[in-house]
Amino acid sequence: MKIHLLPLVTVVLIVTAAVTPTKADPASNSDAIRMAPPNPLEQLRAEYERRRADALRPATAWYRAQLELLGHELAKERTKVAETFWEDDQPELRQALLAIGWIWRSAEDAEGVDLKFLENGSVHHAGLNGTWKITGPSEVTVQSDDDSRFILRFSSSLRSFTGDRRGVTGERIPPLR
């Protein structure tokens, strides 16, 4: 048979505090108020809260660990969704990029050069090799092999685009008749 000493000690302390007379008049001596033993009900409440916290500590730690793991998994999923969201959301832009040739013009070359977007995510024209990715609504980011980046914003008709720098513009190559 197990004997739990803590409840026994608590009862002894409560009884001792209740039976022991105090000599100081609490109204006349403020130190006596601070030195007075705590109320037995407060002692029991404090003991209950301590035991409760001790009992809940392992469960709380497990829940926190699970929550942290779930947070990491959620962050990975968000990243995955963010990587493919715009491509999945704009199949017509992808189709327009792949189906038709384009002309790339810049401040240095108003005449323009042929631009080709390939299915494997690569993009090529005279002087530029790199990769492309749909990164926003009617927006494609071209990352060249020399680490320069262009953001191309396409018109709603998907017939032309404007770059974010160097005066880059472009349009579809008209079909041959």
Interatomic CA distance for residues 113 and 122, integer angstroms: 16
Question: Is there a domain that residue 140 lies in?
Answer: yes
pLDDT of residue 22: 55
Question: Is there a domain that residue 177 lies in?
Answer: no
Among 35, 52, 85, residue at a domain's last position: 85
Among 46, 62, 85, residue at a domain's last position: 85
pLDDT category of residue 38 using cuts at 50, 70 and 90: confident
The mean pLDDT value for 65-89 works out to 82
Give the model confidence (pLDDT) of 122-169 as tens digits: 999 888 899 998 888 889 999 988 878 889 999 988 889 999 887 888
pLDDT of residue 175: 64
Higher pLDDT, 18 or 57: 57
- 144 C-beta neighbours (distance < 10 Å), count: 14
Pair 80, 121 in one domain = no
Pair 50, 30 in one domain = yes
Higher pLDDT, 5 or 63: 63
pLDDT category of residue 55 using cuts at 50, 70 and 90: very high
Percent of the chain with pLDDT over 90: 32
pLDDT of residue 35: 67
pLDDT above 80 (res 120): yes
In this prediction the pTM is 0.52
Pair 136, 154 in one domain = yes
The mean-pLDDT minimum among 17-26, 37-46, 88-97 falls in 17-26
Question: Is there a domain that residue 51 lies in?
Answer: yes
pLDDT category of residue 69 using cuts at 50, 70 and 90: very high
Tell me how many domains the chain contains: 2
Domain that residue 132 falls in: 92-172
> Is the CB of residue 114 less than 8 Å from the CB of residue 103?
yes
166: domain CATH number?
2.40.128.640
Taking all residues of the chain, what is their mean pLDDT, rounded to a whole number?
Answer: 81
